[in-house]
Amino acid sequence: MKILFGVQGTGNGHISRSRELVRKLREDGHDVDVIISGRKAEELKEVEIFEPFRVMKGMTLVSHKGKMSYIDTMIQLDLARLMADVALLDTAGTELVITDFDPVTSMAARVRNIPSMGFGHQYAFGYDIPLAQGNILAKFILMNFAPARYNAGLHWHHFNQPIFPPVIPPSLYEKNAKLVIKGKVLVYLPFEEIEDITVLMTPFDQFEFYIYGKVSEDRDDGHLHFRTYSRSGFLDDLLECDGVVCNAGFELPGEALHLGKKLLLRPLDGQIEQESNALAMEELGYGMAMHDLDGAVLADWLQLPCREPLRFAKSVDFIAEWIGSGHWEELPKYAAASWSGNSSH
């Protein structure tokens, strides 16, 4: 099958999960052409698996100091460029468009009446799952940023809906996992300023914090260890840590739950997806949330034990089988099968 696959380049979660599905689809013999939008080509890291791929401007959501800025999001929106990219996109022979929250391929599928499939966490919100109140604009953007005809939504729990488990990197299924180091904490708060994170973590010197974010080079400052982005280094630290402090995105919390790490989420203010994720995390009893960089909440969380691993099934295998079947109306059957192999659910 000839597939056009669109990836939202903003944040590493979309790239991480799409990397695995693109690999699986190509292994299954499909011809997959990839578009990445929302981030400049020179800012993309570890995307070799997608080659050959094209980069387009698309649209992205803008935030400042841990808070969504809808005004700046609208200011940076180049609608003329978006429409031009859609018009110039070659879809000849395309039998299916898959979009991981990429508006360019989503719009091209609608304009040209090509079957489309949404892949990712955002597409779970079309079903009955925990949803934060938010504002009308935030909900509209979530549901209409990159819509599709069929949806392979992902979540940490099925909520008795036709959605799939998170996509976990293959290396995190290996039996020879690293020994967990008690008191080692992985910190990934990309929407926060490093100075603010430093102030939050400095008093807790009995713990070792490995902080990934806006730093130019790796450096150690006592119990604070600042790291530039490296997928392999990040996964090594994730395997070794006993807890994760991160924004309330989807991919990293899913990996942490898979491995049995305790979780403290800081949702991006005004971003309804992250606020809903924090709500779901607490409702499920899987972790804690803080709505600002709160030292008192961090202190309580640091004393908690680790949790039992959830050990999610390899969801891309079930999703790729569903895609390849051509029977896309049979989504519930494939979604249910993806959870049945997981005794934790």
List the single range of 49-53, 105-109, 113-117 with lowest mean pLDDT. 49-53
CA neighbours closer than 13 Å in the CB half-sphere of residue 154: 29
pLDDT at 343: 33
**The residue to which tokens 């979540």 are assigned:** 155
Contact in structure between 243 and 306 (CB atoms under 8 Å): yes
**The residue to which tokens 């806006």 are assigned:** 214
In our burial notation (b when 16+ CB lie closer than 10 A, e otherwise), range 263-273 reads bbbbbbbbbbb
pLDDT at 300: 97
pLDDT tens for each residue of 38-92: 777 666 676 778 888 888 866 666 555 555 555 555 556 657 777 888 888 889 9
Res. 4 pLDDT band, cuts 50 70 90: very high
pLDDT tens for each residue of 172-217: 887 555 689 999 999 999 889 999 999 999 999 999 999 998 898 9
Residue, of 339 and 231, whose pLDDT is higher: 339
DSSP 8-state code for residue 304: S
For the chain, the residue count is 345
Q: Report the alpha-carbon distance of residue 328 to residue 209 in Å, rounded.
A: 44
Q: What is the mean pLDDT of residues 318-332?
A: 96
Residue 37 predicted with pLDDT over 60 = yes
Q: Report the alpha-carbon distance of residue 201 to residue 208 in Å, rounded.
A: 9
Q: Report the alpha-carbon distance of residue 289 to residue 267 in Å, rounded.
A: 8
Cross-strand pairs, 225? 210, 220
Residue 30 predicted with pLDDT over 60 = yes
Indicate yes or no: pTM above 0.85. Answer: yes
DSSP result, 31-44: EEEEEEESS-GGG-
Whether the link from the prior residue into 162 is cis, omega within 30° of 0, is no
Q: Domains (ranges, CATH) in the chain? A: 2-167+313-340 (3.40.50.2000), 170-302 (3.40.50.2000)
pLDDT tens for each residue of 122-176: 999 999 999 998 767 777 778 888 999 999 999 999 999 999 999 998 888 875 5
pLDDT tens for each residue of 251-267: 999 999 999 999 999 99
Q: Round to the nearest angstrom and report the end-to-end CA distance of the chain.
A: 33
Closest CA to 301 of 281, 322, 330, 276: 281
Closest CA to 161 of 306, 338, 319, 320: 338
The continuous run of DSSP H or E covering 233 comes out as helix 231-240
Q: Report the alpha-carbon distance of residue 257 to residue 175 in Å, rounded.
A: 16
Cross-strand pairs, 318? none
Res. 342 pLDDT band, cuts 50 70 90: very low
